[in-house]
Amino acid sequence: MPEGPEILRACDELAGVLKNQKVRQITFAFDELKGFQSRFRNKNIVSVTARGKAILIGLSNGYTIYSHNQLYGRWIVKPAGIYPETKRQLRMEINVNDYSALLYSASDIEVLNKKELKNHAYLNRLGLELLSPKTTEQVVLERLSEKRFSRRCLMGLLQDQSVLAGMGNYLCCEVLHIVGLHPENRIIDLNMRELKKLAGICLKLTRQSYKTGGITNLLSRAKKLKKQGLEFEDYRFYVYRRAGQDCYQCGNAIIKDSFCGRMGYVCPDCQQ
């Protein structure tokens, strides 16, 4: 599933071609939304924003198009009239003068009025946005230090969107490895030094992934491995999807296992 960094990068690309543009045509695949197609024609797109793993497209008539990519959804921007070769199903198409924004495979698409937007279940339960410029390391520390979270397993806690919005499985695995914590640890098991480091790395690594297009590995190492001819997926991570390969820090084999009901990757030596 795309995580916060991927969603915000997609949002940036969409905003670059859609914001302040007039809708030439919009098409929805779902029957319950088709009635909005004529109502949105010639309306201006006034905002394109990301919230957690959702993208919100605001229109000048007060409506907002909500989409959540879930596991397989993907936005593709193309010059108007050009479609990619893909077996994915097109769920929504927004055409402006020069470009088309195409949403494939996503099944969670809604059109919301102002009241529905304000009361939206997913948006209302979102926690701290790690990619918000207003979020600081101290704010993340205070969030993780809340007593109600103290006995929750880190593997589940860090992926709970009501706690930290935008962090998913790969970011969780990478953060815990860098901090040197086992996924089954709880907040109550950590000392203050570990807790501060956890808060800092959650923030730093999420923003690094956004800036680099998904690289959470040490950037100097990733650059070196890329020069050696490795593919992107083979140099971007510390431990994620590297089961059976050597840990960069200790040389032991990385393992894939279930931790607190969620699949993840760890170094058994660095994360005892």
pLDDT score of 2: 81
Its CATH architecture, for the domain 128-266, is Orthogonal Bundle (1.10)
pLDDT by 10s per residue, the chain, length 272: 689 999 999 999 999 999 999 999 999 999 999 999 999 999 999 999 999 989 999 999 999 999 998 888 899 999 998 999 999 999 999 999 999 999 999 989 999 999 999 999 999 999 999 999 999 999 999 999 999 999 999 999 999 999 999 999 999 999 999 999 999 999 999 999 999 999 999 999 999 999 999 999 999 999 999 999 999 999 999 999 999 999 999 999 999 999 999 999 999 999 98
Residues 6 or more apart whose CB falls under 8 angstroms from that of 18 comprise 45, 48, 57, 94, 96, 99, 101
Name the residues annotated as catalytic: 2-3, 53, 262
Sign of CA dihedral 204, 130, 207, 7: positive
pLDDT score of 72: 86
pLDDT score of 70: 85
Domains in the chain: boundaries? 4-125, 128-266
pLDDT score of 71: 80
- Rounded CA-CA distance 93/79 in Å is 12
- Rounded CA-CA distance 241/226 in Å is 17
pLDDT score of 60: 97
Q: What is the pTM of this model?
A: 0.93
- Rounded CA-CA distance 48/11 in Å is 7
Q: Which CATH class is domain 4-125?
A: alpha beta
- Rounded CA-CA distance 62/112 in Å is 9
